[in-house]
Amino acid sequence: MTYLKTFAVAILLLTMKLVVAQNVLIDKQGVAHFYSEAPLEDIEATNEKAVGAIDLDKGTVAVTMLIKNFHFEKSLMEEHFNENYLESEKYPKASFKGKIANFSSYDFSKPGTITAKANGELEIHGVKRPIESEVTFDIKEDVIGANTIFKVALEDHKIKIPKLVIKNIAEVVDVDVSFNFMKK
C-alpha cells in the first residue's frame, strides 16, 4: 500500500511539474547580432543559433549561445574573435538570466505590443555583470516576438584589446537580440 501511495504522489508531482512547465516557451533559433563601429573598420557578426526561454508564469527569461556560432563576413575576423578576444575554447558560451520587471502588470495572453525592462545577469568571457535592457514583445495569436538592443563594454567583461589594434575595435559594442517564441 505504501508503494502505491508513493507512486501516486510521484505521478501527481510529475503532472504538476508538467502543467507548470507548459507556460515556458523556447526558441532555439534566436538571432544575436553585434556591431562595433571603429575609426578604421566596422566589425559585425551574427549568431542564428541563440537559445532563449521565457516563463510566462514567473516572468523569467534566459538566453544562451555558443560564441563560435557568431559568423563574420571575413573569416580572419572570425578567427581573431574566437582565438584572441573572446577565447571561445576557454569561454564557449554567453548567457543571460533574468526577470521581466513588473511582470504581473502585463498580459502576455492578448495580442499587442508590450515594452518592458528585463533585469538580470549577463555572462560573457566568464565574467558576470548585472544588466538592464528594454525588451519589446510583439504578441500575436501563435507567437511572441521578443527584441532587445543593449551595449556591452568590452572592459566590463575583461575582453582585452591590444594597443596595436585599438583603433580597429570599439570599446563598447552594440548588441541586438531577437526571438520568436511559438505558443503551443
Residue 167 CA to residue 85 CA, distance in Å, equals: 15
Give the span between the Cα atoms of 38 and 35, in whole angstroms.
10
pLDDT in the model for residue 131: 97
Number of domains in the chain: 1
Residue 39 belongs to some domain of the structure = yes
Residue-wise pLDDT tens for the chain (184 aa)? Answer: 554 444 444 444 444 444 445 699 999 999 999 999 888 788 999 999 999 999 999 999 999 999 999 999 999 989 989 998 999 999 999 999 999 999 999 999 999 999 999 999 999 999 999 999 999 999 999 999 999 999 999 999 999 887 766 667 788 999 999 999 999 7
Listed residue (138, 141, 48, 129) closest to 96, CA to CA: 129
Per the domain annotation, does 7 fall within a domain? no
Give the Å distances, CA to CA, from 131 to 46, 108, 181, 183, 184: 21, 23, 22, 27, 30
5 in any annotated domain = no
Instruction: Give residue 50's domain range.
Output: 24-182
Residues 6 or more apart in contact with residue 61 via CB below 8 angstroms = 52, 53, 54, 55, 96, 97, 98, 99, 100, 118, 120, 135, 146
Q: CATH number for the domain including 62?
A: 2.40.128.110
pLDDT of res. 41? 82
- What are the cell numbers at 149? 538592443
